[in-house]
Homo-oligomer: A and B are copies of this chain.
Amino acid sequence: MRWNKISDAVIRRLPLYLRVLDELANESDTALISSQELGVKAGVGPALVRKDLAWFGEFGKQGVGYDVGFLRNELRKILNLEQELTVALVGVGSLGEALVRYHLKRYADNDSFNLRLVALFDSDPAKVGTLVEGIPVMSLEDIPRIVEEEQIKIVVVAVPADGAQDVANRFIRAGVKCILNYAPVKLTTPDTVQVASVDLSLELQRLAYYIPKHPN
């Protein structure tokens, strides 16, 4: 498996670098960037920037830096962003709707991120058949057929905690290998499936560490 070779901590930082390069490419004529500057903008130390990128090849020149356009293209290739990213979302409650309206639909306009939200699913028969931002909501029974037809690569799970494992299993059985989980529960999945979790409670507990002990 490819993902056993390079640490996920490295992979997590690549989108941060790509975002910096996207901004540079859109906003200015900067042709070169040093690892120092890339690190500062991405919030990563310069030595770590060089180490991370070295996993994938020789992208920069000593004392010259990285070519912005070239490195951007290479990162997009490494992250599979040159292909169309077909995404489904399950759970069209208030969270799911917000993710569709304010996030997933926005990315469709982003030229360095070829995302297409192709399907929505919900277990509530009253929602099935309705449209959210022009995308029809389908029944959970339709998952295998739609995953196959639309070649869905990533599913965003936005259902309540007690339904998350069941819907994840349905997508895994249908062949989906990447899950972005917003439900506040840890999913049990085979090793061949990659899960990213967005967990408010973990983020809050981490932030709590930084609360000043002695406020002024």
Contacts and interface: CB of A to CB of B under 8 A. Distances in A.
Given A101-B94, A207-B194, A9 B11 contact: no
A151 B163 CA distance: 36
A196 B202 CA distance: 10
Interface string A110-131: 1001010000000000000000
Contacts of A179: 207
A149 interface: no
Interface in A166-216: 175, 177-180, 184, 186, 194, 196, 198, 200-213, 215
Contacts of A80: 208-209, 211, 213
B184 A106 contact: yes
B202 A19 contact: yes
A136 interface: no
A67 interface: no
A15 B205 CA distance: 6
Interface residues of A, number: 62
A153 interface: yes
Contacts of A198: 198, 200, 203
Nearest to A106: B184
Contacts of A186: 19
A99 B200 contact: yes
A207 B47 CA distance: 25
A85 interface: yes
Contacts of A208: 79-81, 85, 153-154, 178
B207 A154 contact: yes
Interface of A: 2-3, 8-9, 11-12, 14-16, 18-19, 78-81, 83, 85, 87, 93-95, 97-99, 101-104, 106-107, 110, 113, 115, 153-154, 156, 160, 175, 177-180, 184, 186, 194, 196, 198, 200-213, 215
14 contacts: A9-B9, A14-B205, A14-B206, A15-B201, A15-B206, A85-B211, A95-B95, A103-B200, A113-B201, A113-B205, A156-B200, A194-B207, A198-B200, A198-B203
